[in-house]
Homo-oligomer: A and B are copies of this chain.
Amino acid sequence: MALSAQDLTALAAVPCEIKTLQRGQYLTREGEQASACHLLISGFAHRHKLTGSGSRQILSIHIPGDFADLDNFLLEVADHNVQCLTACDLAVIPKKALVDLASSNPPIGRALWLDTLVDSSVFREWIVNVGRRDARARIAHLLCELATRLDAASGALTPVHHFPFTQDHIADATGLTAVHTNRTLQSLRKEGLIALSGGKLTILNWDGLRTVGDFSDRYLHHAA
């Protein structure tokens, strides 16, 4: 979203603290009250919830440049966990500073709101993904989404991506078991759609993967 130079200056003036967290550390825990929001500078994070029976569902994955928990901004009590997937550098912005900024500067307020609305759109697509696609399509769709977002963030279009996710992560993001995720990934590899190992994802056949995953990037609302 286009902001004026003046707005950008105001944004840069927000008081924030830079913090580094290790893999596995939490930004937010379900049930707690957050006093700050976190902007990911480097590293990956994810949101998740645990069910009563103890299984985990990953709700979203965040890459550098994303706000990882902007909901905390207005919601009193966090309804989900936010956890670092790798070591992360974060800008920690006090809620109050954001509230003031959004009130005093409507364009920035709208930009922040828009960011949460795009998150919301991604949540909706994930409901479709786990609700109505089979295992192959779910995983293919997830990979397409991540590749598209990483490309958009970096400004480059490359088939190779840094990919620090375990098969457990993929399983919990797609509502599958780790075992079935493993088998499904093998089938995607066997068909020459992807290469995935050693923390690197290579998309060998973009059109093929997109077709398998029933992927369209409209829901990402990129070219606003």
Taking the complex as formed, is A127 at the interface, i.e. its CB lies under 8 A from any CB of chain B? yes
Taking the complex as formed, is A6 at the interface, i.e. its CB lies under 8 A from any CB of chain B? no
Instruction: Please report the C-alpha to C-alpha distance between residue A119 and residue B127 in the assembled complex, in whole angstroms.
Output: 13
A57 lies within 8 A of B123 (CB): no
A147-168 CB contacts (< 8 Å) to partner B: none
**Which residues of the partner chain B approach A99 to less than 8 Å between Cβ atoms?**
110
Instruction: Please report the C-alpha to C-alpha distance between residue A119 and residue B71 in the assembled complex, in whole angstroms.
Output: 11
Taking the complex as formed, is A33 at the interface, i.e. its CB lies under 8 A from any CB of chain B? no
Chain multiplicity (copies): 2
SS of A interface (majority) = helix
Taking the complex as formed, is A106 at the interface, i.e. its CB lies under 8 A from any CB of chain B? yes
Stretch in A35-43, A75-83, A187-195 touching the partner: A75-83
Decide: A79 near B175, CB < 8 A? Known: A57-B131, A113-B113, A214-B52.
Answer: no
* Cβ-neighbour of A127 out of B102, B114, B130 (below 8 A): B130
A residues in contact (CB < 8 Å) with B: 30-31, 47, 49, 51-53, 55-57, 59, 71, 73-77, 79-80, 99, 102-103, 106, 109-110, 113-114, 116-121, 123-128, 130-133, 174-175, 214, 218-219, 221, 224
